[in-house]
Every structure is written in structure tokens, then in C-alpha cells.
């Protein structure tokens, strides 16, 4: 084996050992009960849970994958590079309602990005008991920050060592968290030297194994045979992997000859001077059956008692528990709860178990055991014996009590959280996922969607992966025809023939809407048999056609596609139909928003000038971008007005948004134009406008910058009323922020003065007037935004700018390019650029 190949084989083990060690150290240092590390994956935009300590992996499968653009704390920590501290469930619900809806339990959490140099590798996460406030959690957060910094540096080194990126594409490693106290049960310790194959064991290990010193040879194989002969090969493999720096997921669960469960923990200390594969290995052998919960008294209790560790492993069960659970003790001990008692694998039961793992209080609920004792769930709630189950949380062990119960109520499972989609919209192949989906998650996500496109995106992110779907199409009804609003996963052009089909067309997407009934086809063969001649794509998968009906009004159709044939249980059909109603109401609201927003934008555009006054010696260009958050029109405006033999350059911003702000803006624009047309001086224009606004008393104020420019001489007189300073770019390329004195905003002080300042605008110089929407960014000082605009203005007019970009219109487009491509603009943006043309040269 070459050196590079050997390194490549060692690298995954080194990465796993590094992540596992940091996670457990974070739990110990920051007082948590569980934690993990999310890592970026080879799929763009997708994070994967790499290590989970202190919680059973199967119970938390919905959180194994996470989009970086989701409203989840892990995603925010990764995407924004910020630390997220959630001291309790209340703060979690306030900031991340979708996350809280999936895990509505009493716990706090902390999330710290893992960064090495300029690369963000993932997020270190910690779950901890609830705190009274965020201040109480800050010391723990600081400890996690230090660990995250160490991890980031180590990951950078690990990646640079072979030039490849550090990613995680597999399932998470589920590991035991650090013990909060001495292990429960008998314990023995040993050390193994791989170089000599000598095992040194303490007396307690010999006592635990019932083998006095000297009775078995002190070799690794002898140790493995004595601890668990049937599982000796697993022990030997674990010893070799640990010595090579690739510790397997631990603890290792093995069984003695008599079936007794034993746990094996291994670790090593790396030393660069020691050859690979020869690092000394230390370990413990734990016999957890002999402890406080498993003494003779517990075996004699009339109630059923069994114990789970924090990974869901059954470490003890008394005879009564085995009897009530319907499973022999030999099939319980050493197995996961879902393997030992498979009929507990129901969403409602799993939700209660999650609560016991994440909350400090006992959890009580009822379960139904199937009568046939074959381990399968009963077909209906009356098909088994009722049991009352109580789970008492502990730092290391969960103690469960089970007793017979008389109950007839329907235990229909409460849906649990949806599986999270991958970045490309795909999901792990699942069956019968509907019971695992909590409809409130989709409802919460839909409340944040405003436009029809946003609603469609939420459906793609939430509904499609929850049911294992790969394709989605949403059609909306308009003038008795269906038009495609959103599609993903279908072959390119496949849906084109269905665009604009009428309601009299015999297609499943039409008939589900006209009949109001959902249509489910378990395979393409079923669909073709029901609708002969209907075009089919290349897959053989199932299809679900859902009617979108809101308050009795038809809205459209939703189509879910699957890659393979599958059935739809009664519960799934019910859930999908209910979810379609949620989607229909959200889409109806979004369509009203789109219509009303278009009207509002039309009103706003009508208040802005269609044409700017022109002069042969002056070029002006204006740009206006409306805010995209909400439907309220804004109060930003700009104008160029003839003023005597010159031009008046105006820009302003009315405080607030809405129709009132737009109306006030229209009144101020008219007033300024009137003053400008009468060629009043700038200070008088602003004073007169100020008095007008005070007399109108709209309860609003406005900022304004007014400049009277002489196109021939370039003399400009400037007055400001609380507005941002102009920026000038000189012909030689350097720029300057004009520190011009000014007065307070308009509409506040009737005695305010607005002094005028003179400046010279040279030919080919560019004067920029703008509103705060162009320079304000959350979390940054506005002065930084103004400086950034000044730098951008210098670059936009430089010779290095692309051809056409040096024109005044090109400069305006470059200054607003970033804002145009931002999906969420919280404020309006207005920009007015002015440039004097050079004096034309006359030929002799």
C-alpha cells in the first residue's frame, strides 16, 4: 500500500475520532447532556450530522440533514457565522418556531460555528438544561467557542494534509456521552500494548470475568475470548482500529457466554513518535447488569422495570418487565429499545421518549402491546393489551416502569417532525412517512411565506421530502384554466403540454380539483390504466394528486411524484389531504398579496417622475428600488426640476412606510417642485417645505437634500434637512463625502434653519444623492455603508469598468446591482446621479 493510500484510509478514522473527542469534551466542559457536530457535505448547501453524543440516533433521524438556508439555529450559525444561544424553550419558540415545533420540550441549546481560517466547516452544538436567561449560558458558550476554534484549526490541518476538502457524507456516529459519575455496575480496566501483544489487567477485571490472575494468557485474543467468546472478533477489530487511531463507535456491546451484557470502552493517546498501529490502548469492561437498578430487589418488584442508557440500549430488565413487554429477557438485554421491543416503534411513543431524553421531568403515557406477541404493531387500537409506561430521566440512565392499564381510547399517534430535505430537494427513501410529519411545522413555515413563489418553495422544502417524494408540481386556477406555478424534479419540458389546460380536460390534476377528491396511484401502471393515453415520464413511481381548495373555493392542484411504486396508508392519505388544505389557504393569501402588492407598486411608481428635466450641459440618471418585505409603499423620492436658468436636484425620504408615507411623499414632492419652479434659494425651499409639513401635521417627518445647480458655471448651492451627505467623484477618479452643514429633518421644528453651502461641480464630475436604503445594512454602522458606496462610485467610473459601465446609466446600475439581486430589501432605495458635460469645442 502506498503512503498516500494509507493516509487516505486513516483520514476518516482520524476525522471521526477528532469530532467525537471534541463533542464529548464540549458536553463535559459546558454542562450539557447531549451534543454533536454538524459538518458540511459534498452536496452544496447541505449540512449533515456527523457525531451525536448522548442521544439515540434513530430517534433523531429527522435532524440528520439540514439545509443551510432553513430557519434553524444550526443553519443560522453556519450561514451567518454567529453564535446562537437559546437558554430555554421560550426563547427557542420565539426565535425558531419550526425547530421548537419539532422538539417542543424544556431544554436549552448553544450553537457555535466551526471555522478554520476563512472556511466554515460546520457547527458545534450542545443541548443543556434550561437556564433562567442567556447570561447564565455565556460561560458555557465561551468554553464551546474555544473548542470550536481548536476543532476548526484541526480540520484545516486535516484537510490541507492531502489537499482535499473536509466533508461528511455518511450517517452520524452515535456515541456515549461522558459519564456524569462512576459507572453503574462492576468495572475492570486493562492496557494492551500492540507492539508486544501484552494485556495488563487489574484485579477488578479478573474478578468481573471470574478468572483469577494467571488463569488466562495475557494476550489480546485471550482477553477477547474471556470477555465475550461469541463476539471475540468484534473485540479484536476494535482493539486494532483504536491502536491505529481509528476508534470505532463506542461503547462496544458484547455478551458473555451466559448472555450477560458487557460494554467495552477503548481509547488511546496519540504520539507522533509511535508508528501507526502500535499506540497503546487502554480500556474498561463494564458489566452494567449488576448495579443499583439490577440488584435482587429490583428483580422481585411487582411492577415491570427496565433501564435504558442514553443511546437507547436496554441495560436491565426485571422478569416482570419482560413478561409485560412480551419479550424474553435474552431478547431485551444489550439490544436497542426498538430492536428489543419493535412494537414501540410508533411516532407517538417516540415523541414521548424524545421528551424523556431532553426534559428533566418524568414522562407518562400509554402504549398498546400486540396480542399476537410477534412484535408487530396492532392493526387498530383495540388489538392489544394496554400498558402504562413511565420514564424517569437520569444523567446516564433512563429508568422505565411499565404496569397493566385499562384504557380504550384511540392512541392515534401524534405526528413527529418531518425529515429534512437535501439541498437538491431529494430525500432518503422512506415509506409511511406521513405519521412522522407534524403538520404544525408546515403551518408555521407557511405563515412566513408571502408570495405564491415563497409558498411553493416552502412546500418543496417541507412536504416533498417528508413523504420521500422527488417531484412536485403546483398548478393554480385562473379563468377556468390551470397554469403551472412551480415545478421541480420533472424532466425538462415534460409539463409543457399541460400548461393552460381547461377544467373540461380529463387529466388527474384537473379532476382532483373539479371533484375535490385526492387521487392516489401506487404506480405508473395504475395511473395509465385509469387515464389511458395520458403522457407519462420515465419513472415507474407512485403519484399523488391533491386538490387545493380554500374555504370551498378552488385554488389549484398539487402533484407529488415518487421514483418507485409505493402504497399510501389511510393515515397518509388523511394527512396529505389536510396539508393540501393548508397549502391552498396559503396560496390564496399569497395570490391576494401579489395582486394588492402590484397595485401598491403602481401607486408608488405613479408618484415618482417619469421623466427628469433635461439641460444640454447636464446629464442626470435616477434609480428607484422598492422594498420587498411587506406590501407597504415607501416614501423615498427623487426629482430634477427646472429652476430659472438652472436645475434643482432633489432627493428625500419620508419616515415610515405605507399609504400615509406615500401620500406625504407626494405632497412634499409637489411642494418642492413649486418652490423650485419659482427659483427660490435652497434654504428658502427647505424652510417653506418644513412649514408646509408641520401645517399638514401628518405625524411624520422627512429628510431632504436640495441642490440648485448652474449648468454653465458648475456652481451648486446645497441645503440639507437631516439627509445623508452627497458624494462626489472628481474627473481624476478620487471621491469625497461632502460634509455639508444642515438642519434637522422636515416636520419637527418650525424655527429650523437650513443653511446653504456652495460647491463647484467640474465637468465630468459625478454627484451622487441617495437614501439610506442603499447604505444601511443590519449589524453595520451606516458610516461603513456610506464609505462602501464612495468606494463603489470610484470603481464604477474608472477606466477598469466594463464598456458601457462608465456611462452615467451604467454607473447607476453598478451602484444598485447588489441591492437589485437581494431577495429581501427591508427599505426602499433612491439614487440620483448628476454629471456636467464638458464645454463643446468649436472648430475655428
Segment 170-188 shows an average pLDDT of 73
Residue 176 confidence (pLDDT): 79
Residue 195 confidence (pLDDT): 87
Residue that has been written with the C-alpha cell 390504466 in this structure: 529
119-128 and 34-40 as β-strands: parallel, antiparallel, unpaired? antiparallel
The conformational region for residue 43 under phi > 0 = left, psi -120 to 50 = alpha, else beta, is beta
DSSP symbol at 82: -
65-67 and 84-86 as β-strands: parallel, antiparallel, unpaired? unpaired
CA 580/CA 197 separation, integer angstroms: 65
Residue 416 confidence (pLDDT): 36
CA 397/CA 211 separation, integer angstroms: 29
Q: How many CA atoms lie within 13 A of 43 on its CB side?
A: 16
pLDDT tens-digit readout, 64-90: 988 888 788 999 999 888 999 999 888
pLDDT at 4 exceeding the cut of 50: no
Residue 114 confidence (pLDDT): 94
Other C-beta atoms closer than 10 Å to the C-beta of 664 total 24
CA 17/CA 21 separation, integer angstroms: 6
CA 230/CA 617 separation, integer angstroms: 95
Q: What is the mean pLDDT of the chain?
A: 80
Nearest to 559 by CA among 474, 449, 681: 474
Phi and psi angles of residue 390, each rounded to the nearest 5 degrees, phi first = -120, 135
CA 242/CA 270 separation, integer angstroms: 10
Q: Distance between the two ends of the chain, CA-based, in angstroms?
A: 86
Strand partners, 26: none
The H or E element that residue 317 is part of is: strand 314-317
Question: Of the ranges 17-31, 34-48, 265-279, 805-819, which one carries the lowest mean pLDDT score?
Answer: 265-279
Segment 221-228 shows an average pLDDT of 88
pLDDT at 646 exceeding the cut of 80: yes
pLDDT at 819 exceeding the cut of 70: yes
Q: How confident is the model at residue 632 (pLDDT cuts 50, 70, 90)?
A: low
What is each CA distance from 502 to 357, 482, 837, in whole angstroms?
54, 7, 58
The H or E element that residue 187 is part of is: strand 186-193
CA 37/CA 626 separation, integer angstroms: 41
Is the separation of the CB atoms in 819 and 806 below 8 Å?
no
pLDDT tens-digit readout, 569-621: 877 787 788 888 888 888 888 877 777 666 666 666 666 777 788 888 999 99
Residue 841 confidence (pLDDT): 61
| Cα angle 715-716-722, degrees, rounded to a multiple of 5 | 165
Contacts 24+ apart (CB under 8 A), 273-279: 276/6, 276/10, 276/244, 276/245, 277/194, 277/240, 277/243, 277/244, 278/194, 278/195, 278/243, 279/194, 279/242, 279/243, 279/244, 279/245
CA 477/CA 457 separation, integer angstroms: 18
* Cell numbers at 361, concatenated: 421531568
Residue that has been written with the C-alpha cell 411553493 in this structure: 456
Kindly state the percentage of the chain with pLDDT values over 70.
80
Strand ranges in 530-687 using DSSP code E only, listed in sequence order: 543-550, 553-561, 618-625, 636-643, 646-654
* Cell numbers at 821, concatenated: 439581486
pLDDT at 165 exceeding the cut of 70: yes
pLDDT at 292 exceeding the cut of 50: no
pLDDT at 7 exceeding the cut of 90: no
Segment 155-160 shows an average pLDDT of 79
Is the separation of the CB atoms in 66 and 47 below 8 Å?
yes
Higher confidence at residue 412 or residue 227? 227
3-class DSSP state of 706: strand
In sequence order, the 6+-apart residues with CB closer than 8 A to the CB of 756 are 681, 682, 683, 717, 718, 719
What is each CA distance from 240 to 38, 173, 243, 276, 474, in whole angstroms?
28, 19, 5, 11, 55
Is the separation of the CB atoms in 508 and 545 below 8 Å?
yes
pLDDT at 418 exceeding the cut of 70: no
CA 756/CA 720 separation, integer angstroms: 8
DSSP symbol at 731: T
pLDDT at 752 exceeding the cut of 60: yes
pLDDT tens-digit readout, 98-140: 788 778 888 999 999 999 877 899 999 999 998 887 788 888 8
Is the separation of the CB atoms in 305 and 298 below 8 Å?
yes
Sign, Cα dihedral of 239, 244, 245, 249 = negative
pLDDT at 647 exceeding the cut of 90: yes
Strand ranges in 328-406 using DSSP code E only, listed in sequence order: 363-370, 384-392, 397-404
Is the separation of the CB atoms in 306 and 333 below 8 Å?
no
**CA 243 to chain centroid:** 38
pLDDT tens-digit readout, 470-487: 888 899 998 899 999 888
* Cell numbers at 574, concatenated: 388523511
pLDDT tens-digit readout, 430-478: 333 333 445 666 666 676 677 777 788 778 777 776 677 888 889 999 8
Q: How confident is the model at residue 5 (pLDDT cuts 50, 70, 90)?
A: very low
Sign, Cα dihedral of 502, 508, 513, 514 = positive
- CA dihedral of residues 475, 480, 481, 485 (deg, nearest 10): -30
| Cα angle 462-435-126, degrees, rounded to a multiple of 5 | 65
Residue that has been written with the C-alpha cell 421528551 in this structure: 355
pLDDT at 716 exceeding the cut of 90: yes
Q: How many CA atoms lie within 13 A of 693 on its CB side?
A: 33
Contacts 24+ apart (CB under 8 A), 323-331: 324/369, 324/387, 324/402, 324/403, 324/404, 325/369, 325/402, 326/369, 326/370, 326/373, 326/375, 327/375, 330/259
Segment 32-37 shows an average pLDDT of 93
Question: Of the ranges 259-273, 402-416, 458-472, 696-710, which one carries the lowest mean pLDDT score?
Answer: 402-416
Amino acid at each position: 500500500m502506498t503512503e498516500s493510500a494509507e493516509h487516505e484510509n486513516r483520514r476518516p478514522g482520524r476525522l471521526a475520532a477528532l469530532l467525537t473527542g471534541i463533542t464529548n469534551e464540549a458536553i463535559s466542559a459546558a454542562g450539557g447532556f447531549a451534543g454533536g457536530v454538524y459538518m458540511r457535505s459534498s452536496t452544496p448547501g447541505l449540512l449533515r450530522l456527523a457525531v451525536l453524543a448522548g442521544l439515540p440516533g434513530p430517534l433523531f433521524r429527522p435532524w440528520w440533514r439540514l439545509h443551510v438556508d432553513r430557519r434553524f439555529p444550526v443553519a443560522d450559525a453556519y450561514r451567518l457565522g454567529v453564535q446562537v444561544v437559546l437558554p430555554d424553550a421560550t426563547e427557542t419558540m420565539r426565535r425558531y418556531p419550526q425547530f421548537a415545533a419539532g422538539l417542543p420540550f424544556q431544554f436549552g441549546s448553544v450553537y457555535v460555528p466551526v471555522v478554520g481560517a476563512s472556511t466554515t466547516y460546520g457547527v458545534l452544538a450542545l443541548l443543556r438544561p434550561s437556564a433562567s436567561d442567556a447570561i447564565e449560558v455565556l460561560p458555557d458558550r465561551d468554553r464551546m467557542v474555544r473548542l470550536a476554534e481548536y476543532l476548526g484549526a484541526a480540520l484545516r490541518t486535516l484537510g490541507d494534509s492531502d489537499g482535499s476538502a473536509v466533508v461528511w457524507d455518511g450517517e452520524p456516529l452515535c456515541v456515549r456521552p461522558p459519564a456524569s459519575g462512576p459507572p453503574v455496575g462492576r468495572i475492570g480496566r486493562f492496557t494492551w500494548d500492540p507492539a508486544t501483544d501484552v494485556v495488563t489487567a487489574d484485579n477488578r477485571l479478573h474478578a468481573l470475568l471470574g478468572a483469577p490472575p494467571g488463569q488466562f494468557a495475557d494476550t489480546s485474543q485471550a482477553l477477547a475470548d474471556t470477555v465475550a467468546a461469541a463476539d471475540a472478533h468484534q473485540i479484536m477489530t476494535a482493539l486494532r482500529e483504536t491502536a491505529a487511531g481509528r476508534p470505532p463507535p463506542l461503547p462496544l456491546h458484547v455478551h458473555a457466554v451466559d448472555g450477560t451484557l458487557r460494554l467495552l470502552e477503548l481509547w488511546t493517546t496519540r504520539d507522533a513518535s509511535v508508528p501507526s498501529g502500535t499506540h497503546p490502548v487502554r480500556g474498561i469492561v463494564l458489566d452494567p447488569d449488576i448495579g443499583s437498578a439490577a440488584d435482587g430487589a429490583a428483580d422481585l418488584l411487582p411492577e415491570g422495570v427496565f433501564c435504558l442508557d442514553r443511546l437507547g440500549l436496554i441495560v436491565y430488565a426485571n422478569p416482570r418487565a419482560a413478561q409485560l413487554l412480551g419479550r424474553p429477557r435474552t431478547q431485551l438485554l444489550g439490544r436497542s429499545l426498538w430492536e428489543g421491543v419493535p412494537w414501540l416503534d410508533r411516532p407517538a411513543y417516540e415523541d414521548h421518549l424524545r421528551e424523556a431524553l431532553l426534559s428533566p421531568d418524568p414522562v407518562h403515557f400509554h402504549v398498546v402491546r400486540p396480542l399476537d406477541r410477534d412484535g408487530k404493531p396492532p392493526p387498530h387500537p383495540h388489538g392489544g393489551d394496554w400498558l402504562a409506561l413511565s420514564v424517569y430521566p437520569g444523567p446516564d440512565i433512563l429508568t422505565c416502569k411499565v404496569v397493566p392499564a385499562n384504557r380504550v381510547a384511540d392512541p392515534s399517534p401524534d405526528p413527529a417532525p418531518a425529515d429534512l430535505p437535501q439541498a437538491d430537494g431529494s430525500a432518503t427513501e422512506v415509506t409511511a412517512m406521513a405519521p412522522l410529519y407534524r403538520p404544525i411545522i408546515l403551518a408555521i413555515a407557511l405563515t412566513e411565506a408571502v408570495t405564491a413563489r415563497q409558498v411553493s418553495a416552502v412546500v418543496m422544502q417541507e412536504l416533498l421530502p417528508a413523504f420521500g417524494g422527488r417531484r412536485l408540481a403546483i398548478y393554480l386556477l385562473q379563468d377556468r384554466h390551470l397554469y403551472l406555478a412551480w415545478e421541480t424534479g420533472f424532466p425538462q419540458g415534460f409539463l409543457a403540454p399541460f400548461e393552460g389546460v381547461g377544467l373540461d380536460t380529463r387529466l388527474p390534476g384537473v379532476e382532483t380539483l373539479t371533484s375535490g377528491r385526492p387521487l392516489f396511484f401506487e404506480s405508473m401502471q395504475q395511473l395509465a390504466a385509469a387515464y389511458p393515453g395520458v403522457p407519462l415520464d420515465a419513472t415507474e413511481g407512485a403519484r399523488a394528486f391533491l386538490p387545493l381548495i380554500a374555504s370551498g373555493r378552488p385554488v389549484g392542484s398539487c402533484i407529488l411524484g415518487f421514483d418507485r411504486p409505493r402504497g399510501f396508508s389511510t393515515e397518509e392519505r388523511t394527512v396529505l389531504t389536510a396539508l393540501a388544505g393548508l397549502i391552498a389557504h396559503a396560496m390564496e393569501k399569497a395570490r391576494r398579496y401579489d395582486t394588492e402588492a402590484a397595485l401598491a407598486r403602481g401607486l408608488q411608481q405613479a408618484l415618482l417622475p417619469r421623466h427628469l428635466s433635461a439641460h444640454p450641459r447636464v446629464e442626470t440618471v435616477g434609480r428607484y428600488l422598492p422594498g420587498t418585505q411587506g406590501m407597504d409603499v415607501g416614501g423615498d423620492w427623487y426629482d430634477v426640476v427646472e429652476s430659472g436658468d438652472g436645475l434643482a436636484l432633489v432627493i428625500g425620504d419620508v419616515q415610515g412606510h405605507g399609504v400615509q408615507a406615500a401620500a406625504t411623499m407626494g405632497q412634499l414632492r409637489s411642494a418642492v417642485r413649486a418652490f423650485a419652479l419659482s427659483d427660490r434659494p435652497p434654504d428658502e425651499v427647505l424652510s417653506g417645505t418644513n412649514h408646509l409639513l408641520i401645517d399638514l401635521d401628518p405625524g411624520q417627518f422627512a429628510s431632504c437634500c436640495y441642490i440648485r445647480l448652474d449648468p454653465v458655471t458648475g456652481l451648486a448651492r446645497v441645503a440639507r434637512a437631516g439627509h445623508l451627505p452627497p458624494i462626489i467623484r472628481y474627473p481624476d477618479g478620487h471621491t469625497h463625502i461632502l460634509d455639508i452643514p444642515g438642519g434637522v429633518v422636515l416636520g419637527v421644528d418650525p424655527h429650523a434653519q437650513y443653511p446653504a453651502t456652495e460647491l463647484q461641480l467640474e465637468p465630468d464630475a459625478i454627484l451622487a444623492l441617495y437614501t439610506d436604503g442603499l447604505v444601511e445594512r443590519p449589524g453595520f454602522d451606516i458610516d461603513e455603508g456610506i464609505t462602501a458606496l464612495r468606494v463603489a462610485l470610484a470603481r464604477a467610473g474608472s477606466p477598469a469598468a466594463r464598456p458601457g459601465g462608465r456611462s452615467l446609466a451604467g454607473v447607476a446600475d453598478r451602484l444598485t446591482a447588489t441591492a437589485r439581486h437581494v431577495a429581501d430589501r427591508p427599505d426602499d432605495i433612491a439614487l440620483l446621479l448628476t454629471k456636467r458635460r464638458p464645454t463643446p469645442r468649436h472648430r475655428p
